[in-house]
C-alpha cells in the first residue's frame, strides 16, 4: 500500500500531557474552543501513532506536528523536518491521519454522510462532477475535492470548482492547475470508501 492510516475515536483520547512537545503544547494552549482542541489533539494522536510505529519512536514528544502558515501540518522528529507525505482530517467524533512515502504527495478527508441543500451542490460542484445525486455520492465527491486540495497544500485559497473529481479522476483548472503544473503534473490516484460506517473517507496520493 502507498500509505498507512490511523483512526482515533475522539471520545477515547489520552491526556495531552506526555504526547505534545513544548512547542505543540504552547500552540495547543492558544486554542480556545473545546471542539477545536479535541480535534487538533486527535489529529496529533493519530499521526504520531503512525510515525511512532513506522520509525520505532517510543517518546511521542520527539514527534512534532506544527501548523505551517497556511494551516498545512508540518512534521518534525527531534526538531528536524521529516519529509514523509502526511495528512490529517477530522469529522464528527473521529480524527484520521495518513502517512505516505518520502517524495510523494498525499491528502485525506473524512466527512459524515449528510443531506445538503441544493444551493451547496450548485455552489461547490461543476456540473460534470454530478453524475449521481445521492447524499453518499455527494459526500464522497466532497471528500475527494478536499483530499485533492490538501494534496495541493493550499487550503482555502482555491475555488472549489477549480478542483474537480470526475468518476475518480482529478481535473484541475485555474489556480489549481497552475499549482498542479508547479508540482510537475504528478500522476494522482483518488480512492474513496465508506469508513467508518456513515462516513466517507478519501485519499488522494501521487506515485513515488
Ligand X SMILES: CC(C)(COP(=O)(O)OP(=O)(O)OC[C@H]1O[C@@H](n2cnc3c(N)ncnc32)[C@H](O)[C@@H]1OP(=O)(O)O)[C@@H](O)C(=O)NCCC(=O)NCCS
User: Which residues bind to ligand X, rule: CB under 6 A?
Assistant: 39-40, 43, 67, 70-73, 87-90, 109, 145-146, 149-150, 153-156, 158, 160, 163
Question: Cell numbers 454522510 correspond to what residue?
Answer: 113
Nearest approach, Cβ of residue 40 and ligand X (Å)? 4
Q: How far is CA 108 from CA 25, 90, 124, in A?
A: 25, 10, 18
Nearest approach, Cβ of residue 87 and ligand X (Å)? 6
User: Do residues 8 and 42 make contact, with C-beta atoms less than 8 angstroms apart?
Assistant: yes
| Beta carbon nearer to ligand X, 155 or 181 | 155
| Beta carbon nearer to ligand X, 55 or 112 | 112
| Beta carbon nearer to ligand X, 28 or 137 | 28
User: Do residues 96 and 42 make contact, with C-beta atoms less than 8 angstroms apart?
Assistant: no
| Beta carbon nearer to ligand X, 48 or 150 | 150
Nearest approach, Cβ of residue 132 and ligand X (Å)? 19
- 154 alpha carbon, distance to own chain's centre: 12
Nearest approach, Cβ of residue 149 and ligand X (Å)? 4
Amino acid at each position: 500500500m502507498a500509505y498507512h492510516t490511523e483512526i482515533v475515536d475522539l471520545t477515547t483520547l489520552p491526556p495531552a500531557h506526555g504526547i505534545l512537545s513544548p512547542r505543540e503544547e504552547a500552540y495547543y494552549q492558544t486554542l480556545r474552543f473545546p471542539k477545536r482542541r479535541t480535534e487538533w489533539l486527535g489529529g496529533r494522536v493519530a499521526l504520531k501513532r503512525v510515525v511512532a510505529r513506522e520509525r520505532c519512536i517510543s517518546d511521542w514528544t520527539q514527534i512534532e506536528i506544527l501548523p505551517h502558515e497556511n494551516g498545512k501540518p508540518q512534521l518534525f522528529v527531534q526538531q528536524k523536518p521529516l519529509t514523509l507525505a502526511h495528512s490529517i482530517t477530522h469529522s464528527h467524533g473521529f480524527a484520521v491521519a495518513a502517512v505516505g512515502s518520502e517524495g510523494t504527495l498525499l491528502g485525506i478527508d473524512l466527512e459524515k454522510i449528510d443531506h445538503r441543500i441544493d444551493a451547496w451542490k450548485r455552489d461547490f460542484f461543476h456540473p460534470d462532477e454530478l453524475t449521481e445525486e445521492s447524499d453518499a455520492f455527494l459526500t464522497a465527491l466532497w471528500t475527494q475535492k478536499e483530499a485533492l486540495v490538501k494534496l495541493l497544500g493550499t487550503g482555502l485559497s482555491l475555488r472549489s470548482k477549480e478542483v474537480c473529481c470526475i468518476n475518480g479522476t482529478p481535473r484541475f483548472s485555474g489556480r489549481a492547475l497552475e499549482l498542479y503544473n508547479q508540482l510537475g503534473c504528478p500522476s494522482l490516484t483518488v480512492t474513496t470508501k465508506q469508513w467508518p460506517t456513515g462516513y466517507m473517507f478519501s485519499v488522494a496520493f501521487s506515485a513515488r
